[in-house]
Chains A and B, each alone.
Chain A
Amino acid sequence: MWKYVVKRFLLMIPTLFGVAVVIFVLMRIVPGDIVELRFSGESSYASKENLAVERARFGLDQPLWKQFVTWIWGLVRFDFGTSMWTGAPILQEIKLRFALSLQLAIMATAVGILIALPLGVAAALKQDTWVDYLARVVSIAGIATPSFWLGILMILTLLVVFRWLPPMVYTPFWVNPWQNLLQLIWPALAVGYRLSAVATRMTRSAMLEVLREDYIRTARAKGLVEMLILKRHALKNAMLPVLTVTGIEFAFLMGGLVVTEQVFNLNGLGLLFVQAVTRRDYTMTQALVLLVAAVFIIVNFFMDLMYGWLDPRIRYR
């Protein structure tokens, strides 16, 4: 077991390194760099010397491999450098947004699970009846509806029907929990609905599979109450794949809410990412992509471990 954990853990390093290489190269292929962009933005004439001086300041005059080594060496020491655009330390810039994105991801996941579990279980129990069809339609609609459009509709409804708008300025939870929830519950609902769609389908198919197992028949045969069979025997075993998809979706929520954040005027990681890419802020983009990829890879790692812990039949090799 421990051998597997260590091996699985070490496997994360080459993947992360690969992500670092890909994003580093990608950013260098993107035409135009931050220096050009800045000078053209100020519509002032910039001489070649000025551009060269600026480039040297960012270390962009160095050969590519040297830039890469410098960056990786910084990462190893947990030094992410400073944003090329704002000049502020990246860690500080990200920290501000990380809290918001994390809270939103947690809330959305909670909303998603609250919808998905009952719906998925009901669909599996009443397979091929109208309950099943309804659950299917509701969940496919969740995948089909862009959450940013759902967000627009929510704001519109609140505005037209209730003459009320959620607060547009972010208040941290520890400052004013009520204000904070009033603002974040809407994007959480919009995104959570989408997440619930994926989880509902998974719950349904996992439940269907588990309900056909021998131990369920045994439980029924010994006269166990149906509710207990469902809760203790079926649901517990069906949770594995549901947890997996929820975990993966959660990881994506951390950086993938680019569009929804835009609609709700939230200053999260997604918005920061779009800004960083359009400004050619190499250091910021690289740090963000690495962060999001790391969250994804680490969540996957824990999912794998949890599998073995929850289901002892799974053996590690």
Chain B
Amino acid sequence: MAINVPFDAIDVAAAEAARAGWWGIVKDFCRRRPLGAAGAAVVGLLVLVALCANVIAPYDPEKVDFGAMLARPSAAHWLGTDAFGRDVLSRLIYGSRTALLVGFGAAVVGATVGAVLGVGSAYFGGRVDLYLQRVLDIFIAFPLIILALAIVAILGNSLPNLIMAITIPMIPRCALVIRSSALSIREMPYVDAARAAGFGHARIILRHMLPNVMAPYLIMLTSFLGQAILLEASLSFLGLGVQEPTPAWGLMLRGAAVDFAESAPWMAVFPGLAISLAVFAFNLFGDSLRDALDPKLRTL
């Protein structure tokens, strides 16, 4: 029966890694969790592509070229062109900016606000906790995409609004998870000590409790990253997200991509691959991170 390495062995390894410093931790992570390291590498590559989009993209992603409509993948257009003659590869490269912007924006804000709410809820307890939980329950009962849809309808679909629409449904989910970890931290002697020392609520929550829920926070953050990218793609695909001619992966799958799917399958295949690859990488990395940080935490 395969059973995990004994815990003291892990502790020893972790202590060694800690002594080796930051670089040692990274090396240890790569050795122990090759899948996670591969995910992290792809994420790094994606960030690089997004940052240097204007350097590496062979064409202007919004330039319409009626001479090269629905061109097959060739030396000139590696991944072909779409119904407006726009280069698919260039649009994919620029689309990574949209995806990462929305992904990071929504995940960081969502997880952070959720963490503060969760910790606050656990810290204050009693009435505050009870009412806050009820309110969060209400928002959790809305399916993610439906809440996002309604918010986009209210705010209109500019990029910041889109990020907000994806952020809001994530907050209660994160708050619930963080709260359950924070409940035990509240009982720690150092929190009592901080209170006895006369520190304010804000300081105790931010300086003493938040740093100690870092593990579930990071885990939620990485899992939200992938979800946010998926949600953005879904909303854009429905025509409720990013608007033409801005390049976005979900948007590229819409309309002509489906109509011409048989004669020009590259339009439908590559953007979907990009979405899958990005979300896959984020999840692979997040999964390993979870195993590394907190082996007991359940898959959500």
Of A80-88, A97-105, A124-132, the one with at least 4 CB within 8 A of chain B: A124-132
Q: Residue among B135, B143, B150, B299 with the most chain A CB within 10 A?
A: B143
Q: Which of B144, B275, B287 contacts A140 (CB 8 A)?
A: B287
- Cβ contact within 8 Å between B298 and A255: no
- Docked complex Cα distance between A137 and B145 (Å): 25
- Does B142 sit within 8 A of A, measured CB to CB? yes
- Cβ contact within 8 Å between B145 and A259: yes
- Cβ contact within 8 Å between B276 and A146: yes
- Does A156 sit within 8 A of B, measured CB to CB? yes
Q: Which of B3, B137, B143, B258 contacts A152 (CB 8 A)?
A: B258
- Docked complex Cα distance between A272 and B111 (Å): 31
| Residues in chain A near residue B137, CB distance under 8 A | 15, 18
Of B62-70, B185-193, B230-238, the one with at least 4 CB within 8 A of chain A: B230-238
| Residues in chain A near residue B268, CB distance under 8 A | 149, 152-153, 156
- Does A10 sit within 8 A of B, measured CB to CB? no
Total cross-chain contacts (CB, 8 A): 143
Assuming the contacts A143-B283, A212-B3, asked whether A152 and B276 have C-beta atoms less than 8 A apart, the reply is no
| Residues in chain B near residue A252, CB distance under 8 A | 143-144
Binary contact readout B253-283 vs A (1 if CB under 8 angstroms, 0 otherwise): 1000110011001001101100111111001
- Does B226 sit within 8 A of A, measured CB to CB? yes
- Does B35 sit within 8 A of A, measured CB to CB? yes
> Which A residues from 279 to 307 make CB contacts under 8 A with B?
285, 289, 292-293, 296-297
Q: How large is the interface on B (under 10, 10 to 19, 20 to 34, 35 or more residues)?
A: 35 or more
- Docked complex Cα distance between A155 and B260 (Å): 12
- Cβ contact within 8 Å between B150 and A144: no
- Cβ contact within 8 Å between B299 and A133: no
Q: Which of A156, A262, A292, A297 contacts B146 (CB 8 A)?
A: A292
- Cβ contact within 8 Å between A127 and B138: no
| Shortest distance between the CB of A176 and any CB in chain B (Å) | 27
> Which B residues from 145 to 168 make CB contacts under 8 A with A?
145-146, 149-151, 153-154, 156
- Docked complex Cα distance between A255 and B142 (Å): 9
- Does A22 sit within 8 A of B, measured CB to CB? yes
Assuming the contacts A144-B276, A153-B272, asked whether A26 and B154 have C-beta atoms less than 8 A apart, the reply is yes
Assuming the contacts A259-B238, A277-B153, asked whether A22 and B284 have C-beta atoms less than 8 A apart, the reply is no
Q: Which of B145, B258, B280 contacts A256 (CB 8 A)?
A: B145
- Does A40 sit within 8 A of B, measured CB to CB? no
| Residues in chain A near residue B139, CB distance under 8 A | 22
Count the A residues whose beta carbon is within 8 Å of the partner chain — how many?
58
| Residues in chain B near residue A152, CB distance under 8 A | 253, 257-258, 261, 268, 272
Q: Residue among B138, B149, B262 with the most chain A CB within 10 A?
A: B138
Closest A-B pairs by Cβ, 8 of them: A149-B272, A18-B138, A144-B279, A144-B280, A256-B143, A201-B299, A293-B141, A145-B276
Listed by A's residue number, 18 A-B pairs whose Cβ atoms lie within 8 Å are A22-B142, A26-B154, A31-B154, A31-B156, A126-B2, A144-B280, A146-B250, A146-B276, A252-B144, A256-B146, A259-B238, A262-B237, A262-B238, A273-B146, A292-B146, A296-B141, A296-B143, A297-B141
Q: Apart from A23-B150, A211-B1, what are 7 other A-B pairs with CB-CB below 8 Å?
A: A19-B141, A144-B283, A145-B279, A146-B237, A152-B268, A201-B299, A256-B144
Q: Footprint of B on A, CB under 8 Å?
A: 14-16, 18-19, 22-23, 26-27, 29-31, 126-129, 133, 136-137, 140-141, 143-146, 148-149, 152-153, 155-156, 159-160, 198, 201-202, 204-205, 211-212, 241, 252, 255-256, 258-259, 262-263, 273-274, 277-278, 285, 289, 292-293, 296-297
